[in-house]
Structure 1
Amino acid sequence: PAFFNKTKDPTPIKQELLQAIAPLDRGADATPQDQQIIDQIACRLEACNPTKEPLNSSLLNGKWELIYTTSKSILQIQRPKILRSRLNYQAINVDTLRAQNMEGGPFFNQVTADLTPLNAQKVAVKFDYFKIAGLIPIKAPGRARGELEITYLDEELRVSRGDLGNLFILKMVDPSYKVPT
C-alpha cells in the first residue's frame, strides 16, 4: 500500500510550487497570503526531500537561480522596479565550502562567503568579500554572517531557510559552475 512508501514523489508538489511562484516576480509581488500559501507548499515539498544530507551531496554544487524569496533585502522592494536587480544567483562548492551570491543588472554586485557545516543540512555563512559593480572588492564586516538550512534538494530545485526566517527557492542553471577561490 502507498502509505508504506516513505519517499513520496515530489514532482506534483514541485509543479504546484513553481506555478504558485511564477506570477510573483521572485516574491516582490507576493502578498502576505501568497507568502503563507508558498510556505505551506514548500513545507509539503520539504517533507518528501529525497536528499537527507544535502551538504554531503554533489547535487548542491553549481550555480542556482533564485526564483522566489521572502527576503526584503534581496527583493529590494523599497527601490523603484527599474533599480532592482532582475536576477540573483547563488553558487556553492561543497568540496571547498565556498559560496558566491551574484546580482544581475543593473548593478552586478556579488559577495563570496565561507561555509561551515553545522550538521548535514545546515551551514554557518561568513561573508568575506563584496564586489561592487562586479569590480571593486570590499572586505565584508565581521557581522556579515548568518545560517542557512537546506531543506529540499534535487537535481533541479533547492529550498533553503535562513536564520532570519526567510524562505529561498532556487533552480539549478549550471551544475558545472565553480565558485572562485
Structure 2
Amino acid sequence: MAAAIVPTKLSFQPNSTVQIFAAHQSPHRFSVSFNSPSLYFHPASGAATTRRKALPVLASIFPFAEKKDKQTVKQELLEAIAPLDRGVDASPDDQARVDMIAQGLEKLSPVEDTVTSPLINGKWELLYTTSETILKKQRPKLLRPGGPIYQAINNDTLRAQNLETWPFFNQVTANLSPLSGRKVAVKFDVFKIAGLISIKAPERARGELEITYLDEELRVSRGDKGNLFVLKMVDPTYRVPI
C-alpha cells in the first residue's frame, strides 16, 4: 500500500536614475523552492521513509536541493551579478538565475526585523537591480550613470537618501514609515539636481521597500513593483541629512 504524501509548503526624476530602490506610483521616478513531501516512498521495500533520509538522494539528482550555508549562497549571488554591470547586461535568463539565488539567500537572513536592526544604518552601494528606471538601458551608455550609486538609511531618524555620482550627481531624500518588521513606506521630500538645485517632491512621489536580507556586508531589497536590489555596505557611520 502506497504511503500517503503530505505536501509541505516550502514564500525624479528629471533626467536622473536616483530613486529609493522602490517602484513609485508617481511618474516622477528617480529613479524552487518547490512543494516537497514530508514522506518519501521507498520503491524497493514499499515502505515510507522520512524526507530527511531521502534528501541525499534528491541532492545527488538535484544539486540545488542540498542545503547551503549563508556564506556559500552570498558568494553565489555575488559571482552571478559580478559580470552584469549592475544589471544593464543581464538577460532574462540572468535575471531569473539571480532572483532564484536571491530567494535562497533571503531564507537565510540572520536578521528577521530588518527595518529596526542597527545593521541597516549607513551608506550602501548598489551592486545589481532589475529596475529599468535606474538602469536606463534604452539610453546611450554616456547618458547612463557611470559612477557608483548609493542608498543611505538611518532607522533612528527614519530618513533615507539616494545619491548618484558621476556624471549627474543627483540626490533625493525621503521619510520612511515602518509597515512591518521588514517593510517601509517611502515618501520623497526633496530632489537635488546636480547636487545644487533643490526641488520639492510632489505628494504622489512615494513607494514601498521591503528589506528581505540583511547582514553586516550585504542587503537584498524588493520594491513594491517587484524590482530586486542587491547592495553592499560601504560606510556604516554615514548620516542622512535631516
TM-score, with length taken from structure 1: 0.95
Aligned to 1:168: 229
Q: For the residues of structure 2 that align with 1:133 and 1:111, how far apart are their CA atoms?
A: 11
Q: For the residues of structure 2 that align with 1:104 and 1:179, how far apart are their CA atoms?
A: 16
Displacement of 1:142 after TM fit? 1.1
Q: For the residues of structure 2 that align with 1:76 and 1:111, how far apart are their CA atoms?
A: 18
Aligned to 1:40: 100
1:1-56 CA distance string (max 9 Å, x none): xx7xxx96310000000000000000010001100000000000001010000111
Q: Which deviates more from structure 2 when the two are superposed, residues 75-84 or residues 20-29?
A: 75-84
Q: For the residues of structure 1 that align with 2:115 and 2:85, how far apart are their CA atoms?
A: 29
Aligned to 2:44: none
Q: For the residues of structure 1 that align with 2:222 and 2:78, how far apart are their CA atoms?
A: 17
Q: Paired residues, what number?
A: 176
Identity %, equivalent residues: 69
Contact 1:8 1:48 in 2 (8 A): no
1:114 to 175, 196, 219: 175
Q: Is residue 61 from structure 1 mapped to residue 111 from structure 2 by the alignment?
A: no
SS of the residue 1:56 aligns to? coil
SS of the residue 2:115 aligns to? helix
TM-score, with length taken from structure 2: 0.71
Q: For the residues of structure 1 that align with 2:69 and 2:217, how far apart are their CA atoms?
A: 14
Q: Is residue 76 from structure 1 mapped to residue 76 from structure 2 by the alignment?
A: no
Aligned to 2:185: 124
Aligned to 1:17: 77
The letter of the residue matching 1:40 is M
1:110-130 CA distance string (max 9 Å, x none): 100000000110000001110
Q: Is residue 100 from structure 1 mapped to residue 153 from structure 2 by the alignment?
A: no
Aligned to 2:18: none
Structure number with greater Rg is 2
1:28 to 88, 111, 133: 88
The letter of the residue matching 2:163 is M
SS of the residue 2:69 aligns to? coil
Q: Which deviates more from structure 2 when the two are superposed, residues 83-92 or residues 37-46?
A: 83-92
Q: Which runs of 5+ in 1 are unaligned?
A: none
